[in-house]
Chain A
Amino acid sequence: MSTSEADLLYSEVEEELRASVRALLADKCAPAGVLARVDGEAGPLTDTALWQDLCGLGVAGLPVPEALGGAGAGWREAAVVAEELGRAVAPVPFLGSAVLSTAALLAVGDSPTAAATLGRMASGEATVALAVPLSAPPGAAFPDTVRAAADGLSGTVTKVADATTADALLVPAVGTDGPGLYLADASEAVRTPLVTLDLTRPLVDVGLDRTPARPVVTGRAAEHALRTALRTGAALLSAEQLGVAEWALGTTVDYLKTRTQFGRPVGSFQAPKHRLADLWVSVSQARAVVRNAASTAGAGADDTEAEMAAALAQAFVSGVAVTAAEEAVQLHGGIGFTWEHPAHLYLKRAKSDAIALGTADRHRSALAGMVDLPAGAE
Chain B
Amino acid sequence: MTTAPAGATIDAAGLRQRVADVVAAHDPATTDPAELLAARFDAGLAWVHFPEGEGGLGAPRALQSVVDAEFERLGATPAGREKLIIGLGMAAPTILAFGTPEQRRRYLKPLYVGEEVWCQLFSEPGAGSDLAALGTRAVRDGEEWVVDGQKVWTSLAHRARWAILVTRTDPDVPKHQGMTYFICDMRAPGVEVRPLRQLTGEAEFNEVYLTDVRIPDSQRLGAVGEGWRVAQTTLMNERVSIGGTAEPREGGLIGIAAGIWRSRPEARTPGLHDALMRLWVEAEAARLTKERLRQQLAIGQPGPEGSAAKLAFARLNQEIAGLEVELLGAEGLTYDDWTLRRPERVGMEARGAGYRYLRSRGNSIEGGTSEILRNIIAERVLGLPGDIRVDKDVAWKDLPK
Contact = CB atoms under 8 A, between A and B. Distances in A.
Interface of A: 133-135, 158-159, 194-199, 203, 260-264, 266, 269, 271-272, 322, 326, 329-330, 333-334, 336-341, 343-344, 347-348, 351-352, 354-356, 359-362, 364-365, 375-376
B334 A330 contact: no
A334 B153 contact: yes
B33 interface: no
Contact of A134 (B126, B330, B389): B330
Contact of B269 (A195, A197, A266, A361): A361
A362 B266 CA distance: 13
Given A159-B334, A195-B338, A355-B329, 18 more contacts: A133-B330, A159-B333, A196-B334, A199-B338, A261-B130, A262-B130, A263-B130, A263-B390, A263-B391, A269-B387, A272-B371, A330-B364, A344-B199, A354-B326, A355-B326, A355-B332, A359-B329, A361-B275
B375 interface: yes
B206 to A, nearest CB: 11
Contact of A196 (B335, B375, B394): B335
A159 to B, nearest CB: 5
A263 B400 CA distance: 6
B120 interface: no
Nearest to B126: A260
B369 A330 contact: yes
A158 B330 CA distance: 9
B228 to A, nearest CB: 14
B325 interface: yes
A326 B128 contact: no
Given A263-B400, A362-B269, A197 B369 contact: no
Contact of A347 (B199, B332, B334, B375): B199
Contact of B333 (A135, A341, A362, A375): A135
Contact of B334 (A195, A322, A338): A195
A158 B270 CA distance: 25
A361 B326 contact: yes
A349 B222 CA distance: 48
A158 B198 CA distance: 29
Given A261-B128, A262-B129, A361-B272, A339 B391 contact: no
A27 B32 CA distance: 60
Contacts of B126: 260
Contacts of A362: 269
A359 B330 contact: no
16 contacts: A134-B330, A134-B333, A194-B333, A195-B335, A195-B337, A197-B332, A197-B357, A262-B390, A269-B371, A271-B371, A271-B375, A329-B199, A334-B123, A344-B358, A361-B275, A376-B270
Interface in B334-374: 334-338, 354, 357-358, 361-362, 364-365, 369-371, 374
Contacts of B128: 261, 333-334
A272 to B, nearest CB: 7
A340 B197 contact: yes
Nearest to A263: B391
Residue of B198, B333, B364, B399 with most partner-chain A CB within 10 A: B333
A338 B125 CA distance: 13
B73 interface: no
Interface string B121-150: 001001111100100000000000000000
Identify the 4 closest CB pairs spanning chains A and B, nearest first: A263-B391, A344-B199, A361-B271, A339-B197
Contacts of A263: 130, 133, 389-391, 394, 399-400
A296 to B, nearest CB: 24
B322 interface: yes
B322 to A, nearest CB: 7
Given A195-B334, A347-B358, A337 B325 contact: no
B201 interface: yes
Contacts of A352: 332-333
Contact of B199 (A260, A272, A339, A361): A339
Interface in B232-288: 269-272, 275
Contact of A261 (B133, B322, B333): B133
B152 interface: yes
A40 to B, nearest CB: 10
A contacts with B: majority SS: mixed
A194 B197 contact: no
B196 A338 contact: yes
A329 B199 CA distance: 10
Contacts of B130: 261-263
Contacts of B187: none
A255 to B, nearest CB: 13
A197 B332 CA distance: 7
B400 A135 contact: no
Contacts of B371: 269, 271-272
B390 A264 contact: yes
Contact of A271 (B198, B335, B357, B374): B374
B81 to A, nearest CB: 24
A355 B333 contact: yes
B300 to A, nearest CB: 29
A339 to B, nearest CB: 4
A260 B127 CA distance: 9
A269 B378 CA distance: 14
Contacts of A338: 196-199
Given A271-B375, A329-B199, A337-B362, A364 B271 contact: yes
A376 B375 CA distance: 43
A376 to B, nearest CB: 8
A337 B336 contact: no
A86 to B, nearest CB: 17
A337 B329 contact: no
A202 B126 CA distance: 36
A133 B334 CA distance: 12
Interface string B301-320: 00000000000000000100
B357 A351 contact: yes
Given A135-B330, A263-B399, A334-B153, A197 B325 contact: yes
Contacts of A194: 333-334
